[in-house]
Amino acid sequence: MTRSPLSPTPRTTLGRSPDRATSDRTALDAVLDVGLTCHLGVLPTGHTAPMVLPTGYGRDGDTLYLHGSTGATSLRAAASGVPVCVTVTLVDGVVYARSVFHFSMNYRSAVVYGQAKAVTDPAAKSHGLRVITEHLAPGSWSHAREPNKKELAATSVLALDLTEASVKVRGGPPKDDEADVAAGVAWAGVLPLHQRWGQPEPCPLLPSDAEIPEHVTARPQPGIAKPAKEI
């Protein structure tokens, strides 16, 4: 599948630290594919404040699929076609600087704007759920029982075009003032943050000799995709 280039718009053109921004589509995909959850921001009709809620997602080509219960206010609002913002953030480390002012985080974040569409066609909905399931737990769609009609009806699947988005990446050491570096006022550096899978914890209702399948035991560690180059 070909990938659309990103179309910079005023809200995806970063005002702050534009040196950390990229409109590179590959960088966007890298962040989206490595994250586990997104934060969906939406202003439901009649609300005064946006809702920002952690939400499951998955990417297929130029489409970001989101899902949740059909009863969730945030999903219902997003499905109604009001504009949404979807943000995926990966924290890579804490940046200790010589001055408090230059403390920072190393991170990769993707921000996508658009209007989501409810996916209602059963085959398309099933495809969206497959993408989301394989994002959350690769290898699971063919291993677990697929959704039945009742379950499909109780699940809301939304599709969002990846055409208006921005990516911001900070990497590397602190950027201190020269005077502070020369004076050696404090230690400075990065404390990297890693995510690691622990040992699988089988459901207590399984037979005690149930074998843990390879798609669980051999799941690659999260967040290990090479950080996008800071530009």
230 makes contact with its own copies (CB under 8 A): no
Token pair listed for 80:
């109604």
Backbone angle region of 61, left / alpha / beta, with phi > 0 → left and psi within -120 to 50 → alpha = left
Cα–Cα distance for residue pair 74/96, rounded to 1 Å = 37
158 in Cβ contact with 74 (< 8 Å): no
Report the residue number, 1 or 145, with the smaller CB distance to its own copies.
145
Q: Which stretch binds its own copies (CB under 8 A): 22-30, 57-65, 104-112, 117-125?
A: 104-112
Q: Which of positions 117-136 make contact with its own copies (CB under 8 A)?
A: 129, 133, 136
Which residues ranging from 161 to 190 are in contact with its own copies (CB under 8 A)?
A: 173-174, 176, 180-181, 184-190
Alpha carbons 102 and 97: distance in angstroms, whole number:
6
Closest by CA to 35, choosing from 94, 86, 102, 97, is: 86
Least CB distance from residue 2 to its own copies, whole Å?
A: 26
Per rule CB under 8 A, is residue 205 in the interface with its own copies?
yes
Looking at 8, 20, 50, 117, which residue binds its own copies (CB under 8 A)?
A: 50
Structure tokens at 165: 């988005």
Please say which residue, 118 or 193, places its beta carbon nearer to its own copies.
Answer: 193
- Choice between 28 and 190, CB closer to its own copies: 190
